[in-house]
Structure 1
Amino acid sequence: MPRISKRIIATLQPAEKDYIVWDDQVAGFALRVWPSGRMSYVVHYRANGRFRRYTIGHHGPWTADKARDEAIKILARVKDGNDPNTERGEERTSPTISQFCKTFIERHVKTHLKSTTQAEYQRAIDLFIIKKIGSRMVATLTHSDVVAFHHAYRHIPYQANRTLGVLSKMFSLAILWGVRTDNVNPCRGVKRYKEQKRERYLTTEEHQRLGKALDDGRSAMPEAVNAFQLLLLTGCRLREIQRLKWEYVFLDEGIIRLPDSKNGARTVQLGESAIGLLGDITRVEGNPYVITGRKDGGHLTDLEKPWRRIRKEAGLHDVRIHDLRHSFASDALELGEDLVMIGKLLGHRDLKSTARYAHLKKEPIQRAVKGIDLKIFTALVSGGSESNI
């Protein structure tokens, strides 16, 4: 039983009946020689208690080395519990992941999810799923494929995990809708990345630097500056400010009524500064949005670029836009507001989301520690010799 090679193939002659030449390197890999002289690379394997033969391709388009590598991949799939012949049949009728994404969006995302969640799903699909695995077949994507897909975005663990969640939901529905007939969700069991919770809040001095940078940048990018100031003064989410319409704003009552925030409809109370800011913003005829964009009738969609410019000017290189919301909550905590009130200010559904702010902001913590330290030290000194403390 020789190693199938170009030299061996050159010596093979057709016979009255087809015959098999086995490879001595990869068990199950072989070359089939037909009476016509045509030769095909095949791999033999056992699946579901039956011996099966899978044709890789004809000699010519396929070389022996290329076919051997393919045989190794096929046998690895068999070891994982897959049947390549069954997969090939399903592949002929299976939609690509890109095609199925359209069905998933129409039948599930647009039908059952809130508009804010729809946008998150659409972003994950457009920027990550279709870009990376859109051409793959729904029926044949494996667990190993998903592990590799998830690993490709390891540098952005939060987004990698959210995208994996979207992909997993897609495959659960692919099974339910009969598109994935093996009833296997390849996303199951993929270990999520650990996500570090950031504790980044603006100090008073940082607020001052940011305020100056915003004032300096107003003439060049007034809409973006208005958005950042509203984020600072209201504690709203970025999307809530980006998509804020004038019909939601009631300056005489000092409130914003959001019909569809992340956790449903909610009312945002406004302080005097926020009311003054909104009162100074010029309304654009024919545009319903407070923060207008370049397109007629649209809102400003990209705030990352102007934010990078502003934070560079302020020397706040590690501060994200979402940290402005965190700072709003932390400032409220420092002023003595309890977690229940802070949760209401932020529009949280439950106290768990607000609890992360209970132990944050270094300045008040440091003041408390210094106060406790002084109290204990004073008591100790009054009861003994200071030199022994």
Structure 2
Amino acid sequence: MVKLTKRVVDAVVAEANDYVLWDEELPGFGLRIFPTGKRSYLIQYRSGGRSRRYTIGTHGIWTPEAARREAKMQLARVAQGEDPAEDRAELNKAMSMKELCELYMQDLRDGLILGKGGRPKKKSTVDIDLGRIERHVIPLLGSRRVKDLTKAILTKVMRDIMAGKTRAFIKTSKLRGRANVRGGPGTAARTLGLIGGILTYAVDLGIIDSNPAHGIKRPKDNVRSRRLNDGEYRILGRMLKSAGQIEKFGPTIDIIRQIALTGCRRGEIINLKWCDVDLDGSCLRLSDSKEGKSVRPIGLPVVEFLEQQQSEDSGTYVFSGPRGEDTAFGGFPNHWG
């Protein structure tokens, strides 16, 4: 035994097998010397009737004085009945954010993650959430332990997304499909909201005790509140009338006109089914809108259009696909431009 000082530690000689040089002043504190010449500080103690070793760190990163102070702290914990080696092993086994995201994504696909009104999230929302997790959350947080996350870490993630640090061109599952991942304030705000949901899920599973995402200020999302004025509606009418001279634009023109007359979302009109149309009640009874079931009153022009459309079509959708297919009209995105 010898007091471990810098001079002593620098002078030790490696042997064929690793060995421990124990400190004479602090029982249980020692220096382990490896055949390669590497040296690391450790403590040895008894816990639960068995001998345990706890590695403090490598010489060079740790000085003998700093390692001695750390050894005293850890041995004090042992005296209070704690087990530093066991605690470290548990910490090393702690769930990473990537592992948590994989659990969350599987439950998301299985319809076990509930959205507004306690209903499973719609497929379109699920796809968006999966994309944000894979393109933003895992690249920035995947290697971190869930227990280590703090408001400061999540705030930095939000700012990195705002700055476009996750910007990339991603190949999608579609043939020749490419996704342009841009980032920006809107994406950052919505991704942080999603991270908050994932961490609430972790709280429910007992992985963490509280959600560090709560209370973080997010950039204001681009809430659309503007509406067309009378002059702009007249311009839209002239544009639709001009486009009506091209036969293939017929369904798209009808869809745009009904969107303007009802205030419905684009997808709600494109995918409108006859079973959701209540002409006697002058309303649309949507069974699969973004908010779930929803009733939308409609005026006389819409009623008259639907009556005429119903007399010409007996398919499932109001705006059916080409060639008599019993699908919703799919050409709208290309025609919109």
Go from structure 1 to structure 2 and tell me whether the alpha carbon gap of 1:153 and 1:300 turns closer, same or farther (over 3 Å shift).
farther
- Could you tell me which amino acid in structure 1 is paired with residue 328 of structure 2? H
Which whole-Å CA distance do the structure 1 matches of 2:97 and 2:214 have between them? 24
Equivalences for residues 13-28 of structure 1 within 5 A: 14-15=14-15, 17-18=18-19
Go from structure 1 to structure 2 and tell me whether the alpha carbon gap of 1:40 and 1:242 turns closer, same or farther (over 3 Å shift).
farther
Go from structure 1 to structure 2 and tell me whether the alpha carbon gap of 1:42 and 1:246 turns closer, same or farther (over 3 Å shift).
farther
Superposed displacement of residue 306, structure 1 = 4.1
Structure 2 match to 1:89:
93
- Could you tell me which amino acid in structure 2 is paired with residue 14 of structure 1? A
Identity of aligned residues (%): 19
Query: TM-score under structure 1 normalisation?
Result: 0.51
Give the one of 191, 197, 207 matched to 1:169: 197
Structure 2 match to 1:299:
328
Residues 1:131 and 2:122 are matched in the alignment: no
Residues 1:274 and 2:287 are matched in the alignment: no
Give the one of 87, 101, 104 matched to 2:105: 101
Equivalences for residues 33-52 of structure 1 within 5 A: 34-37=33-36, 39=38
- Could you tell me which amino acid in structure 1 is paired with residue 299 of structure 2? G
- Could you tell me which amino acid in structure 2 is paired with residue 89 of structure 1? K
Equivalences for residues 1-389 of structure 1 within 5 A: 14-15=14-15, 17-18=18-19, 34-37=33-36, 39=38, 53=55, 86-91=90-95, 95-106=99-110, 107-109=112-114, 113-114=118-119, 117-119=121-123, 121-134=125-138, 136=142, 139-140=145-146, 142-143=149-150, 144-154=152-162, 156-178=184-206, 180=207, 182-195=208-221, 197-218=223-244, 219-251=247-279, 253-262=281-290, 265-281=293-309, 288-292=316-320, 297-300=326-329, 306-307=335-336, 309=337
| Residue-by-residue CA offset, 1:194-248 (whole Å, 9 max, x unaligned) | 2455552223222122223233445344433322211100112334323321111
Q: As a proportion of its length, which structure holds more strand? A: 2
- Could you tell me which amino acid in structure 2 is paired with residue 299 of structure 1? A
Which whole-Å CA distance do the structure 1 matches of 2:204 and 2:106 have between them? 16
Which whole-Å CA distance do the structure 2 matches of 1:96 and 1:109 have between them? 17
| Residue-by-residue CA offset, 1:299-348 (whole Å, 9 max, x unaligned) | 357855544x2xxxxxxxxxxxxxxxxxxxxxxxxxxxxxxxxxxxxxxx
Contact 1:291/1:299 (8 A) holds in 2:
yes
Query: TM-score under structure 2 normalisation?
Result: 0.57
Contact 1:13/1:37 (8 A) holds in 2:
no
RMSD: 4.6
Q: How many residues align?
A: 256
SS in 1 for 2:268: helix
Superposed displacement of residue 130, structure 1 = 2.2
Structure 2 match to 1:26:
none
Go from structure 1 to structure 2 and tell me whether the alpha carbon gap of 1:175 and 1:254 turns closer, same or farther (over 3 Å shift).
closer
Which whole-Å CA distance do the structure 1 matches of 2:199 and 2:332 have between them? 33
Structure 1 unaligned regions, length at least 5? 3-8, 21-31, 45-50, 57-63, 66-82, 310-389
Superposed displacement of residue 114, structure 1 = 3.5
Which whole-Å CA distance do the structure 1 matches of 2:98 and 2:222 have between them? 38
Structure 2 unaligned regions, length at least 5? 22-30, 44-52, 62-86, 163-182
- Could you tell me which amino acid in structure 1 is paired with residue 14 of structure 2? P
Contact 2:276/2:284 (8 A) holds in 1:
yes
Which whole-Å CA distance do the structure 2 matches of 1:93 and 1:42 have between them? 31
